[in-house]
Chains A and B, each alone.
Chain A
Amino acid sequence: MFAIEIRDIHKKYKGAITPALDGFSFFVLPKKIVGLLGPNGAGKTTTINILCGLVKPDSGTAIISGMDCMKEMDSIRRFIGLVPQQIALFESLTANENLLYIGRLYGLESNMLANRIRYLLERFGLDKHADKRIKAYSGGMKRRANIIASLLHEPDLLVLDEPTAGVDVQSRAMILEFMKEYKNQGKTILYTSHLMDEAEQVCDDVVIVDEGKFVINGAPKDLIKSTTNCKRLEDVFLHYTGRVVRDTPTDE
């Protein structure tokens, strides 16, 4: 069974001229790190938001571990952990308070939750800053805290939207290392990035999406081999998506 199976998804936002997703299909095998790669505005975040029940597609199916994202979201949310592109934490609470509150809302038993928070804070190097408010955190610290908040319930499927964008080198190394470690615990990871070197290094498989359509997928090594004149994943990416710059303003 696939960990994620997306078939022929169409999504056009209200007021948009072109669709964000235009018949997009792909799948993710369990216990792998899969990179969803594409230029700006390709539809990566839209895809992830559909998987997490934050956006409703116009048509198509999205299935996670055999469950329909449109019908069984409450069950899916128990074993999926989404790390959104934006920081999703209570700014005026400390990291510790945030994690305790979020863990309680997941219904986690308090001893187990305390241990889990302690372990994750240490793992992400935030144990010394656990009692500082989030608003006092640096960008890299906020990113790491944001990831911890999605890991409290030990999701079988971890989905990260641009976890390494605009993050300092040390934080990025720590995040990538953790992703590999988490995969080795038997978990599945889907993550988006626009950094090809990084994807080549951590991904078992990559899926390239452009203008809301599936382009190609495969293991980075295989893709490099099968595409003419390519030495790196970045060459493959440029080969398929072209050299035209994509600028999508973030605000309508």
Chain B
Amino acid sequence: MRVPGHAILLGRLRRRRAIGNLKLLLTYLRRYRARLAIGLAAMLLATVFSRLIPWLLKPAIDGLKEGAPRGHIAQIAVGMVVAAAFGALFLYLQRWLLISTSRRVEYDIRRDLFAHMQRQDLSFFGGRKTGDLMAHFTNDLNAVRDVAGPGIMYAATMTTMLVTSIALMLAINPILTLVAFAPYPIITVVTFFFGRAMYRRSRRVQDLFGDLSARVQEDLGGIRVTRAYVQEENSARNFETLSRAYLQANMDVARLRGVFFAAMNALAGTGLVLALLVGGRQVMAGTISLGALVAFSAYLAELTWPVIAVGWVIGMLQRGASAVGRINRVLESQPAIISGQLHDRPIPRVRFDHVTFRYPGAAEDALRDITFALSPGETLGIVGRTGSGKSTILKLLLRFYDPTEGRILLDDADLRERDLDQLRAIMGYTPQDGFLFSRTIAKNIAYGVTHADAESIRRAAERVHLHDEITGFANAYESLVGERGITLSGGQRQRASLARALITEPELLLLDDTLSSVDAEKETEILDELRDFMVQRTCIVVSHRISAVRHADLILVLEDGELTESGRHEELLKGGGLYARLYARQRLAAEIEGTA
């Protein structure tokens, strides 16, 4: 099999990038420069003091051999304890400063990641799974933290131990040192290949963990469907397949690690054996003292652990690098929706100017060449077939997305030139699905305002005729709403989300089929009352019910993303298009009921 040259090159580049990923980590670590510096200094001192102990072994043993007085030995012993006490003090500083920094870095990255994610535009979320995104905050961040704390600490400790030990060993006997280190070049090579393989394999484990989380998250979200359709076993089977793949991936990592540790153990052990053999010979020849050999062996034995830990640290670095890579991809992604300038905020005028829009990754345009204008204080009604692009118009206004072609103007300024925060502050939006958060009803209604007193929350609830129902709940306004609002009825949820929009007193009200799950009686009452509210504001009302839009100053009829009719109620009726048909259908239904 021939591997094409560029593939190798690409592989190399990718690998370089893998470790290069850690650069991001450096920028975070930089904030804790002082702590890190002191921590590393403490580490150096701690190592030096811990080195002193084997160093003191040599005179002790040689002294004993030469029959030194007991007082001398005692002095050495006391010296050891003093050295150990300093060593312990610095070790404490080292651990506390270095490891705690990693926790702070973790905090910083988690904070920034969340802030950054929140500010991505919706196309970012469209292509990703919630479970996957969450894995960045748990698994990936753990891996990064491991690098930032123990990774750095052990890497630094190992290096110092290696350097000081080698220096001390060289001082004892250079030839013996060379012999003892004979296996180490092999160790370097093994470590290098191990690192590469480890990166790939741990990457796969992380990816599968993400898949697993995503799977569980979705299955739990859809539990009501799975139950209703008796699909428990089938979905368990899918989960099982994934779990097994995860097991395999983990075992791949374990086997690799096993081979590596065994190899390291054997190689480091070989060094010890060689040192004993050659050193023993030198003692016999009288080149070195027995004490020197003992001290030398002690240094070498202490090196075994760091050498083995090399693999561990490399694994950690690789995992960390791939995790930082994943996090980095998120942090690097720049939202396409960028904020513009602050403008005045009068009751807005809205204009769509030949707007065409296609969702990212979609095969067809969701809106094609839409043009209309709405004067301040006017109400726009939008009706149309399912999937014709009604909700999309609202999403474009909110700048969840930008048009592919054409412009949207608010008070004659392109939305793209306006301050995003202000733009959204102008608008009050009720989504079609009435999403609520799992907090109290009061907090849900007041979601969009910084400070809301009980009175204004109550007023908003009354406006949407929800107050009476809320006071009927066990904890009234303090009742917790289940995730997404599942503990409310469909209509209650919609009205709560309407109240959430009204309480912000928006200049531009966007209602997306907001009362579809509300009965006619309540709907009429709410709409009648809203009319007062709407007079001083520009409104866009999307609905399938003609009754909700018939009073609008302008009604748009959408079909398959195109604007097929527009005008006032009476004009559209005369036009005899879809609007007239929908009207006839809803009226006909009413008449049939009336005459039956």
Q: Decide whether A and B are members of one complex.
A: no
Which A residues have a C-beta under 8 Å from some C-beta of B? none
Interface residues, chain B, CB within 8 Å of chain A? Answer: none
